[in-house]
Structure 1
Amino acid sequence: MQPITFTTPRTARYYLLGESGPAIQQVWFCLHGENQPVPELVAQLVALDTPERLLVLPEALSRYGLPSDGQGPRRIGADWFAVGDLMPDLTDLSNYLDSLAAEVLAACPPDVTITVLGCGHGGAAAARWLAGQRTHYDRLILYAAVFPPEIDRRATLKALPTRPVTVIATTIDSYKLEADGRALLDDLDEAGLPARLQYVSEGPVTLAALGSTTPLR
């Protein structure tokens, strides 16, 4: 017996830091990592919330409950990819993020600078989304990015438009080897993309480090 696919509308959730309007100069689309509740990513990015910057944090479509610590409300995680059969998820995430970007950007000035930030599996999701070349962006930040083995990383990177890429990695042993930035930088160079590598090595990696390691404009 084989599964049969069926396409149906989905209701997605996203968070905003900032408000759309004529004062917005920068829009950031920030994709969370595996098992990372979006509110926790929001908390790490609060330092980037300024009047001229709008941060958009979409939640992956596959939501699930995380183990409770016995304190506070239950934490909710979400995955960008299902194990074993990624193609439907890749199509869904591209359609979802293209539609969300179109709606958000329609309420912003036409000359805003667009940054896409992907953390962990969110880095692979961002690369696959942008490789479709239906949403314009100005730069991509891959933060400890992890590509599932089912995704051809080199082919995905070669499909990206020529835009600057910043790879942020860590030397902390607790992080997965796939997130090491050197191999990813080599693949980006092979794809002909202007890329640079930056390390964060003091303590656990936090996205708040973007405020000091990455130019904001």
Structure 2
Amino acid sequence: MTPLFFTTPRTARYISLGEPGPAIEQVWVCLHGHDQPLANLVEQLRNLDTPERLLLLPEALSRHALAPADGAASRTGAAWFAPDSLLADLADLATYLNALTQEVLARCAPGTPVTVIGFGHGAAAACRWLAGNTVDYTRLILCAPVFPIEIDRRATLVALPERPVLVVSTSNDTYTRETIGEGLIQDLLDVGLSAQQRIVDSGPLPLAALGASAPV
């Protein structure tokens, strides 16, 4: 039995911290991790929420309920791709993120720089999206990045434009050894990209560690 695919419009959700307009000096597209609720991502990014910076937080298209934690209210998680529909999911991801980013940038001043930041699986999603060379971005930040085995990491990195890449790891990463950045920095350098790594404490990302205190 072979699954068949049918393309249909989807209604996506996103959060915008900041209002698009001529006063915006930076746009950051922020991709959450696997099953990471957007409210959790907002908390991680609160140090970046400044008047001149617009934070765009798209939610992945595959939404589903998460088990409540200790009697708390129900939560929603989302995934950027599934192992058995990877190519279709990546195509939908690119269509979605291209359209949303272009709509936001059209309401900002021409040439407003774009930073893309991805967490966990969102880092892999960001790399696959940007490898399509559709969005003109300034730099890429990968936080505790996880590339599922279904995604060829080296082939994805080769296709990225020549933009700086920052790999951010926390001092107490507990996901996999990959989130600590082992091998990824070397892969980035091997394909000719400028790459650096920063180690930060868990919690909201500090401005200084990201070099985000001034326009980029």
Would you say same fold, with TM above 0.5? Answer: yes
Q: Does 2:22 align with 1:26?
A: no
Residues 162-211 of structure 1 deviation map (CA, whole Å, 9 limit, x = unaligned): 000000113426231121213110010011001101112x4xx23x2242
* Residue 209 (structure 1) aligns with: 205
1:74-85 alignment to 2 at 5 Å? 74-85=74-85
Percent identity between the two aligned chains: 55
Equivalent residues of 2:144, 2:173 under 8 A apart: no
Residues 108-129 of structure 1 deviation map (CA, whole Å, 9 limit, x = unaligned): 0112111000000000000000
Displacement of 1:53: 0.5
Q: Note the residue ranges of structure 2 that are not aligned, 5 or more in a row.
A: none
Displacement of 1:47: 2.0
Q: Distance in 2 between matches of 1:173 and 1:13?
A: 28
* Residue 16 (structure 1) aligns with: 16
Using structure 2 for the length normalisation, give the TM-score. Answer: 0.94
* Residue 67 (structure 2) aligns with: 67
Q: Distance in 2 between matches of 1:210 and 1:184?
A: 22
Matched letter for residue 184 of structure 1:
L
Matched letter for residue 128 of structure 1:
R
User: Paired residues, what number?
Assistant: 213
Residues 55-108 of structure 1 deviation map (CA, whole Å, 9 limit, x = unaligned): 000000000111112544311000001123311101110111001111110000
Residues 130-168 of structure 1 deviation map (CA, whole Å, 9 limit, x = unaligned): 000011100000000000100000010010000000001
Equivalent residues of 2:168, 2:197 under 8 A apart: yes
CA RMSD of aligned residues (A): 1.3
Displacement of 1:2: 1.6
Task: Specify whether residues 173 and 134 from structure 1 end up closer, same or farther in structure 2 by C-alpha distance, changes over 3 A only.
Answer: closer
Q: Distance in 2 between matches of 1:112 and 1:142?
A: 21
Using structure 1 for the length normalisation, give the TM-score. Answer: 0.94
Q: Distance in 2 between matches of 1:71 and 1:15?
A: 26
* Residue 140 (structure 2) aligns with: 140
* Residue 102 (structure 1) aligns with: 102
* Residue 35 (structure 1) aligns with: 35
Q: Does 2:164 align with 1:164?
A: yes
Displacement of 1:212: 2.8
Equivalent residues of 1:133, 1:161 under 8 A apart: yes
